[in-house]
Amino acid sequence: MDTTRPMPLTQPWSKKFWEGCREGCLLIQRCQDCQNNIFYPRKFCPECWSGNLNWIEAGGRGRIHTFSTAYDMVEPRFWEDLPYTIAYVDLEEGVRMMTRIVDCRPEDIHMDMEVEVVFHKLNDEFHLPYFRPVKG
Amino acid sequence: MAQPNLAIIGIGEVPTRIMPERTRWDILYEVCMEAIRDAGLHKNDIEGVIATSPQAQPVIAAELAFGKLPEELGLKGCKDNCICNAGGAGTSNCLRLAEQYIHSGVARAVLIPHVTVHSDIPMEDTINFFARAGVDMQWEYPFGSTYNLIMGLMANRYMHESGCTPEQMAAVVTSLRSWAVKDPHSLFYGKEVPSVEKVLASAMINTPLHKRESNRLADGGSAMVVVSAADARKMKKPAAYKLGEAVRYFSGTPVLRNFDQVKDGLRSTAEEALAQAGISRGDVNIWNCYLAYPLAHPLMAEMLGVAPEGRGGEYFAQGRMAFGGDIPWSTMGDAPGRGHTGSGVSAATYVETARQLMGKAGERQVKDCLYVFQNTSGGSGFNNIATIWGREV
Ligand SMILES: [Zn+2]
């Protein structure tokens, strides 16, 4: 039974994102030619094919577009986390990411809830950007 | 798109069961021989073989890709062979490619088989496969996402926006299974139809998906024989003619799938396929929807204009799409009713479309069935393919 946590399968152009996570920064790409904010990271801008892409630090705040809380039928490698909530979060920068919602009870999570990033260390290389409710 | 020129003239299928002693080749022999006989053809009349790729079964997938089937069955007239993989949209591509084989003169009659045996694969391997299928390995999988969770995310948002209740969602299972219990090819043939209460009392896998709202993995297989529309007419046998088709691509990665774009895609592909077939919504006798999970059925009913916006769930709860209701809907019960056979459920959906148009659907036969709407979709919903099929051109 495989209980090792899976690590993100990276590409050369996504390494910077994971470096950012290690340093507590949520980075997204910005196309210098068409000003498009890009997530997930690409080799070339998916709007205009420009290779002139920069990284900007996102504010780390967003809203829950949708979520689902898992109680069963996940791989053994995630069993110890059950129950856990997977969500799509819309960042203020206009991009959407999949994440986990943490630091609250699953029954308190709701649609359009305001959340902020909190990094979860998997190992020395990978810290996953999770989100938690904004207090107050 | 050019006017389709294709007809299904033969079908073969084995009952969907959990039966490891029935091998993949057992199933392939049975469904292929039945489909060719049903078409009224000789085995050597089959000039092309295009199989739907079996998922999570590398050995049979390689055998089918590299040409074992025509040899095993002695299809001496066969000129070419391949497999198509687009997950649940694979069979749609087999049909399109068959049309090309026929149009370009490679083949006059093409055999389209599918087989899946889940029961001899260790449970852990199938859970792993379905956790990773259609999920991004960098941006989704490490968070603990699964196929079930992707469906849950979509369903929760739909329920939030539409006001569809858990009871109404559960009624979709009741509805789909009401058809399935009358289908000898279903895993649930002759069994009890679960009530809404029973569905809701089953364990929660992930919100809002209850155990009885997910699919039972099973073994099955089917085959179709297709020819040109002109050849089908000459054969003077019951056939299902392809009349219209439209398609949209959404996204490979679920998180990038814009819900509004998906809704619009479901709506417009139906409109375009109907327009190409030259018929209107009211002419459709069966809405044969393939969505793999019950959760997307109410949304689909709304996008097809079968139910008013925000009332899809209500229509299911009223039993309108159930066996005996006024809107024949997924008459083989989709994957929740059939048992999940990987990419085979969409293959079986085409077989059911043909069966109804040929008048061979037994107890489930929809009277005077002239036109069937059918959709398929691949991966975790990367696309939607809408087609219209008719009894005559
Ligand atoms: Zn650009």
Instruction: Give the tens place of pLDDT for each residue, A10-67.
Output: 999 999 999 999 999 999 999 999 999 999 999 999 999 999 999 999 999 999 999 9
B-chain residues near A37 (CB < 8 A): none
> Cα torsion at A39, A43, A46, A50 (round to 10°)?
120
pLDDT band at B201 (very low <50, low <70, confident <90, very high): very high
Query: What pLDDT score was predicted for residue B219?
Result: 97
Cβ neighbours of A92 (radius 10 Å): 11
Kindly tell me if the per-residue pLDDT of B61 is higher than 90: yes
Q: Which of B29-43, B115-129, B279-293, B321-335 has the lowest mean pLDDT?
A: B115-129
Both tokens of B61, joined, read: 């997938």
pLDDT band at B346 (very low <50, low <70, confident <90, very high): very high
Average pLDDT over chain A, rounded to whole? 97
What predicted TM-score, i.e. pTM, was given to this entire model? 0.96
Rounded average pLDDT over B199-227: 97
- The backbone torsions φ and ψ at residue B377, rounded to the nearest 5 degrees and listed phi first, read -160, 150
Closest CA to A68 of B159, B161, B265, B139: B159
User: Rounded CA gap, B226 and B9, in Å?
Assistant: 6
Q: How far is A69 from chain B, CA to nearest CA, in Å?
A: 5
pLDDT band at B124 (very low <50, low <70, confident <90, very high): confident
pLDDT band at B11 (very low <50, low <70, confident <90, very high): very high
Q: How many residue pairs from chains A and B have C-beta atoms closer than 8 A? A: 105
Kindly tell me if the per-residue pLDDT of B134 is higher than 90: no
Answer yes or no: are the C-beta atoms of B123 and B64 closer than 8 Å. Answer: no
What is the CA B272 to chain-centroid distance, rounded?
A: 20
Q: Where are the domains of chain A?
A: 12-133
Query: What pLDDT score was predicted for residue B129?
Result: 81
What is the CATH architecture of B7-121+222-235?
3-Layer(aba) Sandwich (3.40)
What secondary structure letter does DSSP report for A39?
Answer: S
Q: What is the 3-state secondary structure (H, E, C) of B269-297?
A: HHHHHHHHHCCCHHHCCEEECCCCCHHHH
Q: Where are the domains of chain B?
A: 7-121+222-235
Query: What pLDDT score was predicted for residue B132?
Result: 79
Strand runs labelled E in chain B = 7-17, 48-52, 80-84, 110-116, 204-206, 209-210, 219-227, 240-249, 286-288, 371-376, 383-390
Q: What would the CATH number be for the domain defined by A12-133?
A: 2.40.50.840
Residue B152 at interface with chain A, using a CB cutoff of 8 Å: yes
Measured between CA atoms, the residue of chain B closest to residue A8 is B138
| B contact residues 207-246, partner A, Cβ 8 Å cutoff | 207-209, 211, 214
Kindly tell me if the per-residue pLDDT of B348 is higher than 90: yes
A-chain residues near B142 (CB < 8 A): 5-8, 122, 126, 128
Q: What is the CA radius of gyration of chain A?
A: 16
Q: Helix, strand or coil for residue A114? A: strand
Average pLDDT over chain B, rounded to whole? 96
- Ion ligand 1 residues within 5 Å by Cβ: A 31, 33-34, 36, 45, 47-48, 50
Kindly tell me if the per-residue pLDDT of B1 is higher than 80: no
Kindly tell me if the per-residue pLDDT of B359 is higher than 90: yes
Kindly tell me if the per-residue pLDDT of B153 is higher than 90: yes
- The backbone torsions φ and ψ at residue B185, rounded to the nearest 5 degrees and listed phi first, read -90, 0
CA angle B252/B258/B264 to nearest 5° reads 105
